[in-house]
Amino acid sequence: MITTLWIPFTVGILGGAHCFGMCGGIVGAISMGSKAPRFSLHLAYNFGRITSYALAGAVAGAVGAGGMAVAAQQPVRIALLVFANLMLLAMGLYLMGATRALIWIEKPGRRLWQHIQPWSQHFLPVRGVRQAFPLGLILGWLPCGLVYSVLATALSAGSPQAGALTMLAFGLGTLPNLLLAGFLLSGFRAYVQARFTRLLAGLLIFAYGLYGLYRAFVFGSML
C-alpha cells in the first residue's frame, strides 16, 4: 500500500490548476482582515481540509471493503480499481480541456454541500487559527471532481485505514499549490492556469490512469 501512495500524492501536486480554480479565491481571502500570522492561518485551514479528505477516504475504504466482503473479493477489487483509474483518465482529459464529462460526478456532492455550506458562515471572517481550522474541515467537503477521482482510488484501497492514507497522501500533494496560492495569488494564477501547465498535468494524470488499468488487468491475480 505504502509503495502506491506516491500516485495520489503526485495527482494532488499535478492537480494544482484545478485546485486553484476551485479554492484559489478562498485561500486568498483567508488572511484578509486578520492580524494573525498568514502562514499559521493557511496551514490551519489546509490541515482542516486534509483532515476531511482523510475522513472521506476512510469512509470510502470502508464501503469498498464491505463490498469485497459480501462478494468474491478479487473480482470486486479489480472492478473498483478499473473504476478508479477510469476516473483518473477522465480527470486527465478534463485538465487537458478535452472534455467536461467529469462534472457529472460533482452533482451528488453539490446536494450534500447545500447542507454543509451554511456551517462555514460561523467561522467567517477568519480572525485566527480557531476559525481557520474548522473552516478547512467544512470546505474539505466542497464538491470537486479532482477529489472525487482520487476518492474512487480510496474506494478500492481495501480498508478504512488504507482509504484514509490514500486521501491523506493526495491532500498533502495539494498542500504546496494552495499554500502558494495564499501567498502569491496573482503570479501563481498565471502559472497554474497556463495552457501548457494544464496540458502537462492532464497528460501525466492520464498516464497514471493508464498505468493503473494495466496494473489491474495484467497483475490482477497478484492484488
Q: Count CB atoms within 10 A of the CB of residue 112.
A: 11
Q: Which of 101-115, 121-135, 185-199, 205-219 has the lowest mean pLDDT?
A: 185-199
**For residue 64, how far is the Cα from the chain centroid?**
18
Give the Å distances, CA to CA, from 198 to 21, 86, 148, 171, 205. Answer: 12, 19, 19, 19, 11
Three-class secondary structure of residue 32 per DSSP: coil
Which helix (H) or strand (E) covers residue 184, if one does? none
pLDDT above 60 for 70? yes
Q: 17: pLDDT confidence band, cut at 50, 70 and 90? A: low
The residue extents of the domains of the chain are 2-222
| Maximum CA extent, the chain | 57
Helix count and strand count (H, E) for the chain: 10, 0
Q: What is the pLDDT of residue 46?
A: 92
Mean pLDDT of the region 81-87: 90
